[in-house]
Amino acid sequence: MPYQTVNPFNNQLIKEYTPHTDQQVEQALAKADALYRSGWAKGDIDQRLPVLHKLADLMESRVEELAKIASREMGKLIAQSRGEVQLCAQIARYYADNAKKFLAPVRYESSLGEAWVEHHPIGVLMAVEPWNFPFYQLMRVLAPNLAAGNPVLVKHAGIVPHCAQAFEQLVAEAGAPQGAYTNLYISQQQVANVIADDRVQGVALTGSEKAGSIVAAQAAKALKKSTLELGGNDVFVVLDDSDIARAAKIGAQARLSNAGQVCTAAKRFIVQEKVAESFLQAFTEHFRAVKIGDPLDETTTLGPLSSREALEGLAKQVDAAVQNGAKLHYGGKPIPHDGNFFEPTILTHIGRDNPAYFEEFFGPVAQIYVVKDDDEIVKLANDSHYGLGGAIFSTDIERAKKLASRIETGMVYINSLTDTAPELPFGGVKRSGFGRELSDLGIKEFVNQKLVVVS
Ligand code: NDP
């Protein structure tokens, strides 16, 4: 896939980027490995943390510039791009402030003697990242691993090369030594070669199930650890005792934010019979109120999809859903425009034999399911290959908590959409992947938890 910036608002090619050669990849690997073997990576963490503080400051001082790069390149609304850049600064600062505590030795009581576990870096990591949060996805890997001392090589998505370049420059400007973070414009075969290289010790991927299973298999073949953050088909449960107006408003936001291209977006709305009609009415009003337009225009509330392929794929999925018996309650078609716009869409009456029942719709398409009781909610929620996040709306928190514990996902939010914060673990189960990013758990994924015993 070529590395090129195409503005999703009008499909105009802005710039093409030259791919890296095998020789350049080898140089990047050698530099990263040399850094891993140096006193910088293996020595005192206090040498590394100032880079993250500086990176946070730099990003905060350039929110506008960076946000525009993301919005032009993948179509995110400008306000949401600003939010993403600010979140990246928070993640960098969070690890700068807390990594030392997370990586401090942990004592164990033992009959064999004085015992403790130390945390050491393991070596060079290969990260494969997607376009939907083109800075945040990079920061989730870079911040904890820079603190831990693991050099990172990154293959970003082909459609966001400008974001990839801007992020690499920021990390260098923040004072990271050569080899700490390297962006590579490389092919899938080159990624496979890097993963197989003995100098690489771990692989982190965020993206589709397909990419996840291929890349994790490559890592497994070379006996290397991987973390995977893949798709989701998250439920948004509306119980009969919910504040319906609030649930409808947040539900629409949870489905339409980032034009619906979020792994933890609310995709399956499970609504109790008693409130189904009132919820659907209020929810539809929010879809109707959407203002489609240029993501750089502050008044736009729904931007384009990231690429023409994404638009065509989504249109096919919606058509197939309808052909297989789903009812189109609202929207349903691409919008005639030079850009990649799809109508905000609501599907109802989706049977279990409809392919849409199990598929992730990566765009502004909501599925509505009407159910009777809590057992039916749990059955439907768990009848999915995925297990990433989920949301439950209710005024009875104890009831919502009981339901939350029965839903097979890595995250559940009560009375809020599925969100993210530096201090909270992020990740899923089932075909949504394995491992966690962010928080104290994220920084422990790629460290050697080394036991030392003194008898
Ligand atoms: P992909 O999984 O294809 O892309 C994600 C990243 O993986 C990109 O950098 C891509 O590179 C790379 N990649 C893909 N296949 C391989 C491979 N065999 N070896 C090495 N790297 C690979 O996602 P798409 O962008 O095509 O989106 C398709 C679907 O994936 C979406 O509809 C959605 O369901 C899911 N998705 C989930 C995301 C999440 O946040 N969990 C994010 C993005 C997508 P390149 O761009 O060069 O192909």
Which residue bears the tokens 């938890």?
A: 449
Q: What is the pLDDT of residue 134?
A: 98
Strands 327-330 and 266-272: unpaired
Q: Do residues 191 and 112 make contact, with C-beta atoms less than 8 angstroms apart?
A: no
Mean pLDDT along residues 82-111 = 98
Mean pLDDT along residues 86-112 = 98
Apex 285 CA angle, 284 and 289, nearest 5: 115
Q: Do residues 34 and 179 make contact, with C-beta atoms less than 8 angstroms apart?
A: yes
Report whether pLDDT(1) > 90. no
Beta strands of 85-179 (E only): which ranges?
A: 106-108, 114-121, 124-128, 152-155
**Does any ligand 1 atom lie closer than 6 A to the CB of residue 441?**
no
Average pLDDT for the chain: 98
Rg (alpha carbons) of the chain, rounded to whole number: 23
* Confidence tier at 75 by pLDDT (50, 70, 90): very high
Beta-carbon contacts of 276 under 8 Å, excluding residues fewer than 6 positions away, are: 368, 370
Q: What is the pLDDT of residue 355?
A: 97
Q: How far is the CA of 64 from the centre of ligand 1 (A)?
A: 27
Report whether pLDDT(240) > 90. yes
- Closest residue by CA, ligand 1 atom 32: 362
229 included as an active-site residue: yes
64 included as an active-site residue: no
Report whether pLDDT(124) > 90. yes
Could you please report the per-residue DSSP string of 316-382?
HHHHHHHHTT-EEEE--SB-SSSS--B--EEEE---TTSGGGT----SSEEEEEEESSHHHHHHHHH
**Does any ligand 1 atom lie closer than 6 A to the CB of residue 259?**
no
**Does any ligand 1 atom lie closer than 6 A to the CB of residue 132?**
yes
Q: What is the spatial distance between Cα 32 and Cα 195, in angstroms, rounded to a whole number?
A: 14
Q: What is the pLDDT of residue 114?
A: 98
**What number is the ipTM of this complex?**
0.96
Kindly report the number of other CB atoms within 10 A of residue 403's CB atom: 22
- Closest residue by CA, ligand 1 atom 42: 207
**Does any ligand 1 atom lie closer than 6 A to the CB of residue 193?**
no
pLDDT in tens, 291-347: 999 999 999 999 999 999 999 999 999 999 999 999 999 999 999 999 999 999 999
